[in-house]
Every structure is written in structure tokens, then in C-alpha cells.
Structure 1
Amino acid sequence: MNKAIVNIFASHNNIIILATDITGSETIVRVTGGMITKAQHKEGGPYTAMKAAEQVVDALRNKGVSSIVIKVRASGGIKPKNPGPGAEAAITSLTRGGLNILEIENVTPMPHDSCRRKKRYRSKEKK
């Protein structure tokens, strides 16, 4: 096995990195932000994402993987469509680990006129 798919789900609160074989059926390794840090407000940060990606690189090296396809995903739908702050740090760490990146793809779900968004909060003015 020399190719793998690395799925990065990066929200503003957490990061999940999942590495599978090229078919996507067999999971090689899965690392989340909560497995790296115990402080809940740091789970989605760049440092946590970098450490999680380093663990993924080690596991992929042990399996003999040399090249990867990266799929980045944000929350999407009616939620934010931009990946969190950890996505870029994770991709950089995967590159520094010596893995050959074949493709980087954005797989964030985009709505085609979906559910109505929640109304904005308007604070009450004091008189």
C-alpha cells in the first residue's frame, strides 16, 4: 500500500483527521483534537492540528504509505463554509512529514437552497 486518503474535518471547535486506504473502506488511523489536548477550547487550534497530523504521519509511515490525497471539509450546510484554523496547520504538518501530496480537495457540503438560517440576535437597547 503506497497511497492513502486523508480526510481533515476542521471546524472552529475541533479537528478530526482520518486516514483510509485508497478505496476509503479500511481505516488506517483516526486522530481528533480531544485525543491531543484536554483543554476543550484548544481542540480546534493550529497547534493541536499540527500534533494530530504528526501522529497520522507516523501511522502512515509504519504502514508504508508514501503519497496521499487530502480532502478538507468544514461544517458546511447552514453552518460556516470555511474550514477552521487547524486545517492549514494540518496540511503543512503532513507536508513536512515527508508525504507526497497528490491532490488537495475541498469537500465541504454546499446547500442548494436548503433550510432557513436562524434569525440574528438583536440586543435590547436601554432607554
Structure 2
Amino acid sequence: MAKAIPRIRSRRYYGSRRNLRIGSRKSVPEDIVGVIYVQASFNNTIVTVTNGGSQVLSCLSTGCFGFKARRRATPFAAHTVTANALRTVKDQGLKQAKVRIKGAGPGRDGAFRAIRYGPIRLISIEDITPLPHNGCRPPKKRRV
């Protein structure tokens, strides 16, 4: 008699996402050049690592690591988050990456320092902070 095919249980059965293994089965071919996006605002720092296409390999923010309130915007928090994101991606097989930094927050330097001395070889560094060409139209002159 043939062996029964095990039933696949839905995600709802397992509860929250924390119970599932996320990202452990992702692997990256050796010739792929990844892209590391660092979004440094004045309140938070978000680090996203993609495989050059549209697939996200790792995405972390300083709030995920227990940094709350004002400590989320520190360079130390950004350094910690970036180092952990790079460690995860290195285990998946990524060896080289481009860096794109956006924003003017205090976590910008800490994240870049972690990337520079991290396990992944850098190909290029790009600043993609949006700059206004002429800005918004100013309000009309006040009449008293």
C-alpha cells in the first residue's frame, strides 16, 4: 500500500510568525551582487538586504532588537542591527554587495561602519537621500 502524503497545515495553525523558521532556506548563488539599503531617519534605522532583484533576504530595524524611544536613533543601535543583518545574509551565501544609504539620521554612520568592517565585500556606495529641487511653495505673506 502506498504511503500517505502528509497534510500541509496552514500558517494559522502554527500561531504567530515567530514560531516559523523564516529565511533559513533562502540561498544566494555565488555570482549575485546584493544591495544593502540603509534608511536612517531621526527616530529609527532600517536595514534591508536584497539579492539584487526583488527578493528581500534580510530586513531589520532597531526596534526589533529591543531598543526603545530615543535609543533607537543611536549609532550603536544601527551598528548592532546592521551587523546582525549582514551575519544572516553571509550565512545564506552572499559575498559582495552595493550599499545605498538614505536619510540624515544619527544611525547613518554607525550602519556604514558596520557594513565597511563586516564580512561582505563592498562594490559601491551610493547616497540616495532625496533632495528638494526648489521645495514647496511658501505660504502667502502674513497680513496683520
The answer to whether the superposition gives a TM-score over 0.5 is yes
Cα distance in 2 between the residues matched to 1:117 and 1:42 = 35
User: Displacement, 1:5?
Assistant: 0.2
User: Equivalent of 1:68, from 84, 89, 97?
Assistant: 97
User: What residue identity is the alignment partner of 2:69?
Assistant: Q
5+ residue gaps, structure 1, are 75-82, 119-127
**Equivalence map 1:84-99=2 (5 Å):** 84-99=105-120
Q: TM-score when scaled to structure 1?
A: 0.79
5+ residue gaps, structure 2, are 1-28, 140-144
The match for 1:112 is 133
How many pairs are equivalent? 109
The match for 1:10 is 40
Superposed CA RMSD: 1.6
Q: Which has the higher contact order (CA 8 A, sep 6+)?
A: 1
Q: Is the 8 A contact 1:37 1:48 kept in 2?
A: no
Cα distance in 2 between the residues matched to 1:92 and 1:86 = 10
Cα distance in 1 between the residues matched to 2:134 and 2:40 = 23
Show structure 1 runs of 4+ deviating over 6 A: none
The match for 2:121 is 100
User: What residue identity is the alignment partner of 1:96?
Assistant: Y
Cα distance in 2 between the residues matched to 1:22 and 1:114 = 32
The match for 2:82 is 53
Which has more radius of gyration?
2
Cα distance in 2 between the residues matched to 1:17 and 1:11 = 11
User: What residue identity is the alignment partner of 2:91?
Assistant: N
Q: Percent identity?
A: 22
Q: TM-score when scaled to structure 2?
A: 0.70
